Amino acid sequence: MRARLIYNPTSGQEIIKKYIAEILNRLESYGYETSAFQTTIVADSARIEAERACKTGKYDLIIAAGGDGTIQQVVSGLVSFKRRPKLALIPTGTTNDFARALKIPRGKPLEAVELIGKAQTLKIDIGRAVSADKSSYFINIAATGALSELTYSVPSNLKTAFGYLAYLAKGVELLPRVKKAPVLLTTENETLTLDASMIFVALTNSVGGFETLAPDAKLDDGKFTVIVVKTDNLFEILGLLGMVAAGKGQHMTDKNIAYFKTQMLEIKPLSDKKILVNLDGEFGGAAPIRFENLQGALELFVNLDAMPDENYIGEDDVLAYEAVAQKFAEQTEHLKDEQ
């Protein structure tokens, strides 16, 4: 088997550089003949290399080493192809929300590589965002609103040391920018008109270092977890953050939250206020925008032993659902014949 390692040499204080030789040795022991590509200052070099590797058709596995940005680029390079290699991650960034949700060791490259030898994989969902001028992919979350920056902009060392107080300080800084605006939300089942200051469209349960913002998000069910914040009052928002930090999911039933699951979501502004979209921490365009869930788009090496069962459906359950759907189709066909 052949593998291609795509790594960001500057991620996480250049930690990956110390381990390249050992990583290649371990991949060789797992049966992978591996070559490596170091990302460059060229824009989207990780995505471009992932696309090139896919086009060759030579690789069974792509390994993305870096932070969430590098991983998101590699994923974007893979999902546009019908024949996709398996994907593995070596998370070396600051937050690594995506790896946190998958229970992949962060900042420990050799432990992350060991998961490839463990050979536990999961077919995970990927999000696609389509706006007027671009189409992009995301692996963790899409978000709108000025205060959505809170989950990304508080430095991790302050988050660890001061917790809720760190968000309070950052929230005061961002207060003048917090405004709610009317939006039209369309799913495959309904249409909603709401005033919203923030909208989160989540694929995993880990956002900005929190593992409780979308506590019931599953990695492979084909649905987004959508959380709409309906208030622009700073103290109410900080109260919601306090509930999130408590980790009991109380924010999901708060009067200032609208919560639902959907395979597709369209966001359309109903005022002159521009709604900018953040995809995995990077600028992703502006509304109107459509989000589509690409169920099971990538087969990824994960740590199933460490992941709670409620975070994913699993292959056995997927097969069971398919069997039920098949039986229903057969019965429906039988009724047609009788008519």
Q: What is the pLDDT of residue 95?
A: 67
Contact assessment for residue 244 and residue 154, using Cβ atoms and an 8 Å cutoff:
no
| Cα separations in angstroms, 286 against 128, 191, 222, 275 | 14, 20, 24, 6
> What does the block give as tokens for 128?
């696609």
Q: What is the pLDDT of residue 1?
A: 95
Mean pLDDT of 128-152: 79
Report strand pairing: 33-38 vs 282-286: unpaired
Mean pLDDT of 33-56: 95
Q: Which tops the pLDDT comparison, 217 or 15?
A: 15
210-242 pLDDT tens trace:
566 666 778 889 999 999 999 988 778 778 777
* pLDDT band at 206; cut points 50, 70, 90: low
* pLDDT band at 334; cut points 50, 70, 90: very low
Contact assessment for residue 183 and residue 128, using Cβ atoms and an 8 Å cutoff:
no
pLDDT at 128 exceeding the cut of 70: yes
Mean pLDDT of 147-161: 50
Q: What is the pLDDT of residue 101?
A: 79
Q: What is the pLDDT of residue 126?
A: 95
Mean pLDDT of 292-311: 85
Q: Which tops the pLDDT comparison, 339 or 177?
A: 177
Contact assessment for residue 87 and residue 197, using Cβ atoms and an 8 Å cutoff:
no
Q: Is 315 a catalytic residue?
A: no
Q: What is the pLDDT of residue 146?
A: 62
Q: What is the pLDDT of residue 320?
A: 44
The alpha carbon of 277 is separated from its chain's Cα centroid by a whole number of angstroms, namely 14
Q: How many Cβ atoms are within 10 Å of 36's Cβ, its own excluded?
A: 15
pLDDT at 93 exceeding the cut of 90: no
The residue annotated as part of the active site, out of 282, 292, 315, 322, is: 282
Q: What is the pLDDT of residue 59?
A: 97
Q: Before 288, cis peptide (omega within 30)?
A: yes
The alpha carbon of 285 is separated from its chain's Cα centroid by a whole number of angstroms, namely 17
Mean pLDDT, the chain, integer: 82
Q: What is the pLDDT of residue 331?
A: 45
CATH code linked to domain 130-294 = 2.60.200.40
- Selection from 65-69, 123-127, 208-212, 239-243 with the highest mean pLDDT: 123-127
Lowest mean pLDDT among 138-152, 267-281, 315-329: 315-329
pLDDT at 175 exceeding the cut of 60: no
* pLDDT band at 311; cut points 50, 70, 90: low
Domain ranges of the chain: 2-119, 130-294
Q: What are phi and psi of 13, to 5 degrees?
A: 60, 35
251-295 pLDDT tens trace:
777 899 899 999 999 999 999 988 888 888 777 888 999 999 999
- The three-state (H, E, C) secondary structure of 223-235, written as one string: CEEEEEECCCCHH
The predicted model scores a pTM of: 0.81
Question: CATH classification of 2-119, choosing from 3.40.190.10, 3.30.530.20, 3.40.50.12710, 3.40.50.10330?
Answer: 3.40.50.10330
